[in-house]
Chains A and B, each alone.
Chain A
């Protein structure tokens, strides 16, 4: 059960394939339209702007004290009996988790939904170490059966319709072919209950980690998150270092924003807050709870005043749901763990611009993502910054973004430096303008990607300067006449 590694860089061929796949297009279109409507309805009666401002303020306050809050979180959790681990890279985090499993002699792991473990490809790592890692969120379970990766951070199997899922479950688990979603869901419940009962370790993500009380918060609808964190004798929570908030009350606006922005729900079925392992008198819950804090490029983003806004993200997926590009190409086309607008500003930091060079440009800069972001991340501005990073020479050095300048081409640089010089000198500008007009017949009709869907631009016969000059000569002549 291992998904094919995706070549992130092969972005354009994947986009073409997705655009030509009517199934993908209709699945996403229907789902995203529905989610947009639900989100709008869920915020009816709210002063959304004020709520978003509060959400942004809470996240910014947490980021402003990030190292101190991480230490406070650790101290509180350790005091409450939770073991805290730190990982600089995804690989280190995988090692830590494997070691915990092996020390317990664990053979099977059940997983709640966690994007950070997708990011570090934990399942493959554990499988290679001989540990079965089974996803228990229904969408993730389907994606795992199909040996694929999630196509949406909230709804991992949104690219599949009921037909495809029925066929998949029939083939892999022996259920009968059926369009009855209740039957398919009940079958998955049956299959996974068995696993929950026997799993040695449960691994989950974290939505918010509260420093003040040492509390890990999980937001979910299915109950698989609660089972993952309660039924096995050991629970390992994994989170990016940016998910910490300062105070317990800080989770209230974030929760209100998260569920409404993500799926248009006023709240999810379960809001699960975990602060310690099982205490002596308690009859269930894991005896051991671990928290793995993963950096994996985040502390690097943190050091840039503009880019650090990326770290406010609460992973609601609203930016994808509202993105005209995402809606048409779907999540897999991006080839990255986080697709859509947030992926475009986050993945270049996690993977470097060398592999993700096309992502910041895969946007119309329409601004919808920034307008719906519950914590007001200026996504379009960050996209522009990354576009600039991708082509900049030395002017921004040293840059915080790996792969900086990867798209710089000498011919293009030459053209732009000529352009700059021309605009700085009025004489040169006028001369160049006139030459363009005279030589307009030489303009090639094919200009690469530009003319694939557009006609080539043709310079006007006369420049604006020339036209204005002629006009003012004429109008002066008219004035002269009327005076006379």
Chain B
């Protein structure tokens, strides 16, 4: 199919208009925001709640108790959590037998796909911050918290540090150096639980991904 490549590029090069006028791109309209940290947190919460996301603000040292309370309230039977990351280790250390069992994503998906798809009730992951303007969480899944972890279980808990909320997407990608340091296999913005309006524009949640997205904001 190298011929196709050559033909397409040749047609584009040969046919390109001379003096293609390109206006300058002024990004100010998507960049300039002057929100304080408190405003950013409020806006993030308001935006993500408007699309059915759940937000709980907790003191940083109390997140595990809050998570335990939510697991009981939502009657969840088990929880998938990293066994390598700091928050996973902290959780595992404080866990006890009477609580729902903890699962680990400690092998390749091929060896437990069916179990992940049918038997995991909830997962908890960290994130790389959030975006206030759109109420979005930034996730870069990795080997400790793989891609399907935030997608397949019906409930997804996310831990967000309150001081890691950016105003806009463009600010987040610039501050974290996405374009300069190279992109990961998969980067995600997650803004609420999975939803659809494909049946007569009626909103329904959890069509393919999680039915519930619960953010624990650690203050």
Contacts and interface: CB of A to CB of B under 8 A. Distances in A.
Interface of A: 27, 30-31, 34, 46-47, 50-51, 53-54, 56-58, 60-61, 63-64, 66-67, 70-71, 85-88, 92, 96, 136-139, 142, 155-158, 160-162, 165, 181-182, 184-186, 188-189, 192-193, 196-197, 212-215, 221-224, 226-227, 230-231, 241, 247-250, 252-253, 255-256, 263, 265-279, 281-285, 293, 295, 299-300, 302-303, 305, 308
B4 A275 contact: no
B186 interface: yes
A54 B168 CA distance: 16
A284 B152 CA distance: 12
Interface in B162-219: 168-170, 173-174, 178-179, 182-202, 204, 206-210
Contacts of B22: 57, 60-61, 64
Nearest to B204: A185
A137 B196 CA distance: 9
Nearest to B154: A189
Contacts of A139: 196, 198
Contact of B23 (A56, A70, A273, A284): A56
Interface stretch (B71-79, B86-94, B134-142): B134-142
Contact of A67 (B16, B107, B151): B16
Contacts of A305: 17
Contacts of B136: 267, 271
Contacts of B134: 266-267
Contacts of A156: 198
Contacts of B189: 267, 270-271
Interface in B1-50: 1-2, 4-5, 7-9, 11-17, 20-30, 47
B198 A279 contact: no
A340 to B, nearest CB: 17
A96 B196 CA distance: 32
Contact of B25 (A61, A87, A267, A275): A61
A244 to B, nearest CB: 11
A302 B198 CA distance: 34
A249 B202 contact: no
Given A189-B207, A197-B113, A213-B182, 6 more contacts: A138-B198, A185-B207, A212-B179, A223-B208, A270-B190, A284-B108
A53 B210 CA distance: 36
Nearest to A214: B183
B208 to A, nearest CB: 4
B173 A248 contact: yes
Nearest to A112: B208
Nearest to B150: A226
B209 A269 contact: yes
Most buried by A among B15, B17, B25, B113: B25
Closest 5 CB pairs of A and B: A223-B209, A303-B15, A139-B198, A223-B208, A284-B109
B174 A249 contact: yes
B135 A267 contact: yes
Contact of B200 (A57, A136, A161): A161
Contacts of A31: 200-201
B24 A224 contact: no
10 contacts: A61-B22, A86-B5, A86-B8, A161-B200, A181-B199, A189-B206, A270-B191, A282-B143, A299-B8, A302-B12
B147 A252 contact: no
A88 B8 contact: yes
A300 B10 CA distance: 11
A58 B27 CA distance: 10
Contacts of A58: 25
Interface residues of B, number: 79
B30 A275 contact: no
A61 B184 CA distance: 26
Contacts of A299: 8, 11-12, 15
B207 to A, nearest CB: 5
A270 B210 CA distance: 12
B114 interface: yes
Nearest to A231: B148
Contacts of B178: 213, 248
B203 to A, nearest CB: 8
A425 B211 CA distance: 75
Interface string B100-116: 00000101110001100
A189 B30 contact: no
B198 A142 contact: yes
B151 A226 contact: yes
A197 B179 contact: no
B179 A54 contact: no
A273 B169 CA distance: 13
A138 B196 contact: yes
B178 to A, nearest CB: 6
B107 A283 contact: yes
A269 B188 contact: no
Contacts of A212: 179
A92 B193 CA distance: 38
A230 B186 contact: yes
A283 B117 contact: no
Given A53-B23, A86-B4, A162-B202, A269 B108 contact: no
Contacts of A252: 27, 30, 168-170, 173
Contacts of B59: none
Nearest to B6: A86
Contacts of B133: 266
A215 to B, nearest CB: 5
A47 B117 contact: no
B209 A66 contact: no
Contacts of B29: 46-47, 50-51, 54, 253
Most buried by A among B29, B191, B193, B206: B29
Given A227-B208, A269-B193, A249 B146 contact: no
